[in-house]
Amino acid sequence: MASTADNFSSSEVLDLIIVGTGISGINTAYRVQSELPGARFTIVEGRDSIGGTWDQFRYPGIRSDSALQTYSFAWHPWPYSSVIVEGPLIMEYLQTCVSQYGIDRHIQFKHRVVSMNWSSKEQLWTLAVSHDGLAKEFKTRFVVLGTGYYDYETPRQTMIPGIEDFKGTVIHPQFWPDDFDHTGQRMVIIGSGATAFTLVPNLVEKAASVTMVQRSPTYAISLPKHGSAVPPWLRQYERMWHLLVGYLFVQFCKYFPTRMRDRLHQSIVQHLPARISVDPHFSPRYQPWQQRLCFVPDGDFFKALHSPKAGIVTGHIQRVTEHAVEMQDGLSVAADVIVAATGLKVQLGGKIAIHVDGGGAIVWRDRVIWNSAMVHNVPNLLFVRGYVDAPWTAGADNAAFILVRLLRLMRARGAAVVVPRLPPAVEKAPRARYWDLESTYLREADERLPRYGSVGPWRPMTNPLVDYVRARWGNITRDLDFSR
């Protein structure tokens, strides 16, 4: 296939434009070029590198929180025995993939999509793109948004009383300074999610002290960093095996929360030093999987807590002073550096203003999701969404298969346009949340996100194995309107 990045005019009408070169964009590009030979497409990326999250986040120890056997691409299996690995190795893997399969030939870096407008008259999308300060315009029949789910430019703004009075350094993990040296610093990490669990063991050796300050604790479980050897006869099913085990674990949490809570507590007790108790530091108010669990490779977080330089404080912050974080119970935690690991600012669509026939920009919260891949009344637009309780890549691959099946079907029918239409039963029925988790930063985002219905292709995807089958062989024409 010809390289659309090196060999096409911006005035040419493309079959497809993919926005983003993270996991979602790379996977979609592979599926398009392998399943639809001859398709003219390009990939536009606002940054100067592939990788998305794995290029953006560079804090010490940044790592996956899913097993790489399922987080990696199905078409290029993870080549190492390690199950949970750090960001640089994931970036190396992604770079190998785009190079080995020729995906890099289609990428145009520093091309940020500002807006896009669908013309029913032309039956095309027109994308306004900024490239090194210059305005460019692309036309395409179909658009795929592989832009992730958070704001790449602005961190979540958390209300921390008195933070403006702090005389030390405040860092958000999303924008960790490359030249920051934490040697001898008194580090306070505010937060209780995966980022905080990762930072503690990776900072404690050089820092003067590392204290994790959390308002509400998180469930955590220690897992081996390296997986056990898989028998040869099982290797071709290894990906499905990991998906099945992960799914069953989540279901056990949801249907037997008390038993799982007890098991998690028992597991944590054996890892903690005597000076740190399970209650209150590891006893969340919610049930397992109402928020994501934190996976601790080889128990490194718990091992770090055995150092006299590491600590954990649970409670509400009264205020931040010039050199400390003061808690409501009177405890004062000395600090030279505060790391605000309090979640992400959720943002769909990469801040792109999306218009249909010159109307106002679509409002995501007013839209209902079809097959976890499109939204009603918006033609020829697919967005890639992964799972929150299974590896992101599994959901992204489902969306990619729905895309190639739709494009084949449109070609077979001679259709130029496909758009989901809400049936009356779905239009009047209650809506389901985009994310079925109780994390504060996700709850805050509810009013900015589209919703699900409760029947047919409008339901959320909740079972990776069933969704796998539906995306590849299930009905993908229900509630779709095809036109020439």
User: Could you report the per-residue pLDDT of 258-310, keeping only the tens digit for each?
Assistant: 999 999 999 999 999 999 999 999 999 899 988 889 999 999 999 999 999 99
Q: Is the pLDDT of residue 441 over 90?
A: no
- Tell me: the pLDDT tens digits for 197-224? 999 999 999 999 999 999 999 999 998 8
Instruction: Determine what percent of the chain is predicted with pLDDT higher than 90.
Output: 79
- The CA-based angle 244-249-255, given to 5 degrees, is 120
pTM greater than 0.75: yes
Q: Say whether 412 sits in a helix, a strand or coil.
A: helix
Going by C-alpha positions, the residue among 266, 185, 177 that lies closest to residue 219 is 266
Residue 449 in contact with residue 434, Cβ under 8 Å? yes
| pLDDT beyond 50 at 3 | no
The string of DSSP letters for 288-337 reads: TTSSPPEEEETTHHHHHTTSTTEEEEES-EEEE-SSEEEETTS-EEE-SE
Burial tier of 415 (Cβ tally within 10 Å: 0-12, 13-18, 19+): middle
pLDDT value of residue 389:
87
The confidence score (pLDDT) of residue 238 equals: 81
- Average pLDDT in the chain: 92
Q: Is residue 8 very low, low, confident or very high in pLDDT (cuts 50, 70, 90)? A: low
Mean pLDDT of 31-41: 96
Identify the residue whose tokens are 């992204």.
Answer: 396
Evaluate if residue 457 carries a pLDDT over 80.
Answer: yes
Q: If you average pLDDT over residues 27-42, what whole number do you get?
A: 96
Instruction: Report the first-to-last Cα separation within the chain, whole angstroms.
Output: 27
Q: Dump pLDDT digits (tens) for 366-395.
A: 999 999 999 999 999 999 999 988 899 999
Identify the band that residue 147 occupies on the pLDDT scale cut at 50, 70 and 90: very high
Output the pLDDT for position 158. 85
Secondary structure (DSSP) of 180-219: ---TT-EEEEE--SHHHHHHHHHHTTTSSEEEEEESS---
The two structure tokens encoding residue 350: 């990469």
pLDDT top residue among 60 and 232: 60
Joined together, the tokens standing for residue 289 give 């999987």
State the helix-helix crossing angle for 238-255 and 257-269, rounded to 10 degrees. Answer: 110
Q: What is the pLDDT of residue 5?
A: 56
What band does 104 get if pLDDT is binned at 50, 70 and 90? very high
> How far apart are the C-alpha atoms of 130 and 286, rounded to whole Å?
45
What is the predicted pLDDT for the residue at 2?
Answer: 39
The lowest-confidence range among 16-20, 171-175, 233-237, 350-354 is 233-237
**Neighbour count for residue 328 (Cβ, 10 Å):** 10
**Residue 149 CA to its chain's centroid (Å):** 6
pLDDT value for 435: 87
- Lowest-confidence range among 81-85, 411-415, 416-420? 81-85
Does the pLDDT value for residue 232 go beyond 60? yes
Q: What is the pLDDT of residue 6?
A: 52
State the pLDDT at residue 7. 55
Mean local confidence (pLDDT), 18-47 = 97
Mean pLDDT of 219-238: 76
pLDDT for position 182: 97
Q: What's the rounded Cα separation, in Å, for the pair 175 and 95? A: 22
